[in-house]
Structure 1
Amino acid sequence: MTHPDENPPVPQEPAPAPEPEHRPEAEAVAEPPRPSLELRQALAGVRTEVGRAVVGQDSAVTSLLIALLCSGHVLLEGVPGVAKTLLVRSLAASLDLDFKRVQFTPDLMPGDVTGSLVYDARTAQFSFREGPVFTNLLLADEINRTPPKTQASLLESMEERQVSVDGQPRPLPEPFVVVATQNPVEHEGTYPLPEAQLDRFLLKVLLPLPERDTEIEVLARHAAGFDPRDLTAAGVQAVADAGTLAAARAEVRRVEVAPEVLGYAVDVCRATRQSPSLQLGVSPRGATALLAASRAWAWLTGRMYVTPDDVKALAHPTLRHRVALRPEAELEGVTAETVLGTVLSAVPVPR
């Protein structure tokens, strides 16, 4: 189980199991399926490559990999200067994915994100010019600084994986993942995301300020000539690709979930709806998101089955943005993290 303020821990490679004794009667017993070691090593290599550019954000990298394995979107929250943009750029480079970044501003229009019809005087016809949303990994930087109309332009692409312009749907590339960032401390001139759009994000990942030793390492890299704008010089290389992700996703979909674990995930979500500190609990979509993230986490840790501990480990990043506090609870200093911690402590764990 993770601490409420933490993101999922970084999975470690399990120690090799001892060779079983040869028993004739045991030969008929089939071994439980295991995740592909080659695929898991490829994604472990992604963490290594991102670490060449970003220091001290291993948990955030793991969370982003979980989102990619689930075809889900991520909301990154952290103060300026904690390498949110560099993290996403490095991830795209290590996976050889097409990457685009949009700086969300108050004057940004929906067509600036999705694309629009452009009149061609030579042919006297309108042609569609693709917007930056037509990519594999889209960084929506400071998404809460643009008006709701432009925020809503991402809704169809996030949910349906397509963009409709002039009544014609246009499919987005595969994979397609949105990573949106927002600043948790500066709210002047911002437009908070509505609950309906927050619910579209699989995970909300918190990027804390680094520890002293980590910050010293950051400065040492810059003193040695590290340039965050030149990932190639930093040594970041592509060690996987979209095909690797597709194969890993296929395995994740085969991760087994026992009925008791399904019931536990549902009980955790239902308990939030009965919390006196919340005016809005987790919806059924949140429960399905918790299940999907738990399966990806189990696969990353080397198992083809989900345990209650997997559900606990992913509860905070998956559910923290899907609950709304009552005003009186906020005045008393209650946070979504403390409510989720209380819920996880109260719901019986299946054994």
Structure 2
Amino acid sequence: MPTLFQSLRLGELTLPNRVVMAPMSRVRAAAGGLATPSMATYYAQRATAGLIVTEGVQPSLIGQSNPGTPGLHTDEQVAAWQPVTAAVHANGGRIFAQIMHGGRVSHPDTTGMRPIGPSEVPAVGDVFTPTGPQPAPTPRALTTAEVPEQARSYAEAARRAIEAGFDGVELHGANGYLISQFLSSNANLREDRYGGPVAHRIRFAVEAVAATVDAVGKARTGIRLSPGGAFWGVEETDIPELYAALLAELARLDVAYVHLEATVDEQLLLGLRRAWPGVLVMNPVFPMGPKQTGRAEADHWLGLGADLISFGRGFIANPDLVERLRIGLPIAPVDEATYFQGGDTGYLTYPAYQHAG
């Protein structure tokens, strides 16, 4: 079995280890969805990861889910990201942008527009807005003619990501956002070629990935999935069939990797591993659950056939997480109150491990 610290070829990149920094929203972008100098420092501090995947980046204004998140749909946003990618590369790292379209998980107070989705079914729960949490609004259902434009928005953002210096992109197909909404059996009530049977419900995901592959190449394209994850009220009633069909299409497109979250039982995940012939990034613990991914969980999944292991919260408080994992140093706890508060506290203020003199 491979170890966490062996190198791996990923597309055109050679990763020096199998540790991936998972995408995590930190809502610290400037007005206009611009990346900031603090974001450059934050990601550069963590450049020893085999691969960094950024926080979710909206591909359009209507695709923005939360206030304070960065975008990749204007020239100004591209220019703002360039110092971030340059800082990571200067520190020897590799970085993909996660392209995240919120779909129905948004609010007019955030974007100035009514959210869109596969059907007029609101998300469950309160969404973040500039004035605090508010009930999720009912989205406007996309017409059949409008759906391809939203699929292409991922590809257009991917082109801008490469222009901004990113090494590739990860489409956010998980956690109840737009791609996940189309995969869902309760958020997607469509009766056209994008809804109903499995072959129709995977179509939007496949079109978004195919457009991205056409735009930036298969070696620069990955996707994150959360099989069975009930985020924002989405449900999937036919998980094995749905994801087997989707993975077959992704295999045909030969994308760089699939990134799975541990949102279903291990046996089902192992079935998906067998169904996917390419590089698998595994996030071994349930997202935002009480447990964090550690060395034991990483080694367990490497033994089960994962190629790369993604770590989320561990990277927030431990910019030197790779070295801590390598030599068995304590993992510092994270201050959850600073996740989304803005500013540099709880963002740039976590130190590397201090060895006794």
TM-score by length of 1: 0.27
Larger Rg: 1
Higher RCO, 1 or 2 (CA under 8 Å, sep at least 6)? 1
TM-score by length of 2: 0.27
